């Protein structure tokens, strides 16, 4: 990734004057916080583990302990990591424009940087519910195991999911598995945010998973400018007005008005 991010003056002017901005983020948004992506060759989660074994309802039925342990491991990692300058730049942008964040990510780094998230399209690592009766589980199940650094969490630890207090069924992660429906209303809110935007910013997604990947095409189809922030070309690149080939932690502080770095947040 290049050190100095040079942005098209027309893009910078539009970012400065846009009243409504829709931001669509994927795993690359959190990469520079230390959260692994899914499909990056040699380091993505799906290089080490099989989505069929961990991220489907069938996987849960086959081995709820394995699935539970893996998601709790990911949640503990996130708990020990921090938002990056890209998250903070988006939060600052919202002080001068209407910035609506739609994320595929299940981490809480946007929120911890101060952004409101309009939709978590694929759920959250920190929401839990009963897999049998659907009752939300009220407790915070993500303990840091007394660790203060994510490096101590290089492997999941096998453990049993807690029992639902209402029916005794096993509690599951509040994430959306392949083949499951997205949270009610999430795509509708996201599509509306994109359709009403003066600028759509697509950050850190390979653009391979539907229906999230269809959102930038709504903008392109309406002639709404789209900027992609990603070190690599993606399936969405042909639909982008601008492509910023840099990491989001470096590019977003340059793109967002008032996005310059500030002291570290929570």
User: Which residues are near ligand APR by CB under 6 A?
Assistant: 26-28, 31-32, 37-40, 44, 104, 122, 203-206, 208-209, 229-232, 234, 247-248
| φ, ψ (nearest 5 deg) of residue 157 | -105, 125
CA angle 28, 32, 35 (to 5 degrees): 70
Closest-CA residue to 100 (of 3, 222, 219, 2): 219
- C-alpha distance across the termini of the chain, in Å: 27
Q: Nearer to ligand APR by C-beta: 44 or 64? A: 44
Q: Nearer to ligand APR by C-beta: 27 or 75? A: 27
Decide: 87 and 251 in contact? Cβ < 8 Å. no
Q: What tokens appear for 168 in the block? A: 């005794």
Q: How far apart are CA 135 and CA 167, in angstroms?
A: 9
Q: Nearer to ligand APR by C-beta: 17 or 50? A: 50
Closest-CA residue to 172 (of 46, 76, 72): 72
Q: Which of 87, 110, 120, 122 is catalytic?
A: 122
Question: Which residue's beta carbon is nearest to the bound ligand APR?
Answer: 28
Q: Nearer to ligand APR by C-beta: 9 or 179? A: 179
CB of 146 to ligand APR, least distance (A): 29
CB of 126 to ligand APR, least distance (A): 15
CB of 228 to ligand APR, least distance (A): 9
CB of 122 to ligand APR, least distance (A): 4
239 catalytic residue (yes or no): no
Q: Which residues are catalytic?
A: 122
């Amino acid at each position: 990734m290049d050190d100095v991010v040079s942005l098209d003056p027309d893009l910078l002017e539009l970012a400065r004057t846009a009243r409504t901005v829709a931001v669509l983020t994927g795993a690359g948004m959190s990469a520079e916080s230390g959260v692994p992506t899914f499909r990056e060759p040699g380091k993505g989660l799906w290089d080490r583990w099989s989505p069929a074994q961990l991220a489907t309802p069938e996987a849960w039925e086959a081995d709820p302990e394995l699935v539970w342990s893996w998601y709790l491991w990911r949640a503990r990692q996130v708990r020990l990591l921090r938002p990056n300058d890209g998250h903070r730049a988006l939060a600052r942008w919202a002080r001068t424009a209407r910035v609506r964040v739609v994320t595929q990510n299940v981490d809480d780094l946007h929120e911890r940087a101060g952004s409101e998230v309009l939709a978590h399209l694929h759920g959250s690592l920190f929401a839990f519910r009963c897999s049998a009766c659907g009752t939300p589980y009220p407790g915070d199940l993500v303990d840091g195991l007394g660790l203060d650094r994510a490096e101590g969490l290089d492997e999941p630890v096998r453990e049993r999911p807690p029992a639902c207090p209402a029916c005794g069924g096993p509690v599951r992660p509040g994430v959306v598995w392949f083949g499951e429906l997205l949270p009610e209303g999430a795509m509708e809110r996201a599509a509306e945010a994109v359709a009403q935007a003066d600028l759509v910013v697509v950050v850190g997604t390979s653009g391979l998973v539907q229906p999230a990947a269809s959102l930038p095409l709504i903008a392109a189809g309406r002639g709404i400018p789209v900027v992609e922030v990603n070190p690599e070309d993606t399936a969405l690149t042909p639909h982008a007005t601008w492509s910023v080939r840099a990491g989001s932690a470096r590019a977003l502080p340059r793109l967002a008005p008032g996005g310059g770095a500030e002291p570290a947040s929570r």
